[in-house]
């Protein structure tokens, strides 16, 4: 049993079931071929079904074919330091920006987690907005084509547009879509209208209808399910989306369907040092291996539930290497400790470079802030 809302993800997630619940379409082979034809290649997140669902992606590609180029919209609601799970949709968004040469609006709704979590102040979320921005910039987005929108900083621009959305959404609707109740605070009830804004704001600014594609983790789908009904009524295109599953937490897929930023032992942060990464993976990463080396050599491990292997699905781009790891682990040739060592090496190599770029990003934030 799973529970998936934009604010809570629990249990071992059945993604096929979730697509049915939400009404999301599967990215099938025809669509993969279509993307490959245009992009020249397929990102390993597409090859491995990590980005697995979509809404109206064919519309985006049809318009693209007609020369009506889309823009990308994704975001991050700051509530803590960036962990590796957060990077997944951003890395893919970066790939889309590069392959299709398109603008990206990146929203930091710094009020969202303030409204939904008792213990967070707006000062906290502003601090994390800054920290999270460094990670986004470190991924290498094009500053000329990437625009940060911060809800409390860009409220003059966003609040009036959010009002137009809000006028067309009733409390009954948000109650059904998000499970809000009569005891929910009125800020949390209003919030979804702010998340709708970047999906049509570029069309407002440029005074023409521009298609919008939103890469996001599937838990955010309820927001766009609601706003897709409203945005066409305001005179803009219904936004399309491409949706990914979660990087599982260290404790295993049945326990942590989604990595939690608030539990240190289930997550690896982009600011963790090499020792910490090694320690967390060795200590906490759920293993699909056997209890003893002898037993492991005999029966082999189970990569399908092994967190080290599952993470390599996200972070090892080379299919051949990955297949070999899978086969060796399954046969018992590769031990759990060795598998973990491969992951530790992979992540620490990545994080070393990322942390340098992250440091350099401190001077670049202003370049990414959206200005009219």
CB 162 within 8 A of CB 197: yes
Residue 153: CB minimum distance to a second copy, A: 7
Residue 192 or 220 having the CB closest to a second copy: 192
The label of the residue with tokens 């290497």 reads 321
Alpha-carbon 346 to chain mean position: 20
Residue 192: CB minimum distance to a second copy, A: 7
Residue 199: CB minimum distance to a second copy, A: 17
Residue 108: CB minimum distance to a second copy, A: 13
Residue 41 or 155 having the CB closest to a second copy: 155
Q: Residue 147 belongs to what H/E stretch?
A: strand 146-150
Residue 110 or 256 having the CB closest to a second copy: 110
Residue 20 or 167 having the CB closest to a second copy: 167
The contact set with a second copy (CB under 8 A) reads: 111, 114-115, 122, 151-156, 158-160, 162-164, 166-172, 174-175, 180-190, 192-193
Residue 236: CB minimum distance to a second copy, A: 16
Residue 93 or 193 having the CB closest to a second copy: 193
In our burial notation (b when 16+ CB lie closer than 10 A, e otherwise), range 69-101 reads: ebbbbbbbbbbbbbbbbbbbbbbbbbbbbeebe
CB 31 within 8 A of CB 56: no
Residue 367 burial (CB count, 10 A)? 12
Residue 181: CB minimum distance to a second copy, A: 8
Exposed, middle or buried: residue 136 (CB in 10 Å: 0-12, 13-18, 19+)?
A: buried
Residue 173 or 348 having the CB closest to a second copy: 173
Residue 192 or 243 having the CB closest to a second copy: 192
Distance CA 334, CA 254 (A): 24
Q: Which residues contact 355 (CB under 8 A, 6 or more apart)?
A: 138, 270, 271
Residue 204: CB minimum distance to a second copy, A: 12
Residue 211 burial (CB count, 10 A)? 22
Specify the pairing of strand 8-10 against strand 3-5.
antiparallel
Alpha-carbon 329 to chain mean position: 28
Residue among 189, 202, 187 at smallest CA distance from 154: 202
Residue 170 or 349 having the CB closest to a second copy: 170
Residue 182: CB minimum distance to a second copy, A: 4
């Amino acid at each position: 049993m799973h529970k998936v809302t934009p604010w809570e993800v629990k249990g071992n997630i059945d993604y096929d079931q979730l697509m049915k619940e939400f009404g999301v379409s599967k990215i099938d082979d025809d669509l993969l071929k279509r993307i490959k034809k245009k992009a020249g290649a397929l990102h390993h997140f597409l090859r491995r079904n990590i980005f697995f669902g979509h809404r109206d992606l064919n519309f985006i590609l049809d318009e693209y074919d007609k020369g009506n180029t889309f823009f990308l919209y994704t975001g991050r609601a700051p509530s803590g330091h960036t962990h590796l799970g957060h990077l997944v949709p951003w890395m893919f968004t970066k790939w889309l920006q590069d392959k299709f040469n398109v603008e990206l609006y990146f929203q930091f709704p710094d009020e969202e987690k303030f409204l939904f979590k008792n213990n967070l102040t707006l000062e906290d979320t502003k601090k994390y907005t800054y920290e999270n921005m460094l990670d986004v910039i470190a991924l290498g987005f094009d500053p000329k084509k990437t625009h940060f929108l911060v809800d409390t900083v860009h409220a003059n621009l966003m609040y009036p547009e959010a009002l137009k959305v809000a006028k067309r959404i009733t409390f009954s609707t948000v109650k059904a879509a998000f499970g809000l109740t009569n005891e929910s605070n009125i800020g949390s009830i209003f919030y979804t209208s702010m998340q709708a804004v970047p999906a049509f704001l570029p069309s407002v600014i440029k005074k023409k209808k521009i298609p919008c594609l939103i890469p996001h983790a599937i838990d955010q789908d309820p927001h766009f399910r609601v706003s897709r009904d409203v945005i066409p009524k305001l005179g803009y295109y219904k936004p399309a989306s491409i949706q990914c599953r979660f990087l599982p937490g260290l404790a295993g897929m049945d326990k942590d369907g989604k990595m939690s930023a608030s539990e240190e032992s289930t997550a690896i942060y982009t600011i963790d040092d090499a020792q910490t990464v090694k320690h967390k993976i060795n200590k906490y990463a759920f293993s699909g291996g056997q209890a003893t080396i002898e037993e492991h050599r005999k029966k082999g491990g189970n990569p399908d539930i092994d967190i080290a292997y599952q993470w390599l699905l996200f972070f090892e781009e080379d299919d051949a290497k990955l297949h070999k790891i899978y086969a060796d682990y399954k046969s018992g040739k590769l031990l759990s400790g060795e598998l973990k060592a491969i992951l530790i090496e992979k992540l620490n190599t990545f994080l070393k470079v990322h942390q340098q770029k992250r440091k350099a990003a401190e001077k670049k934030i202003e370049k990414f802030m959206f200005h009219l």
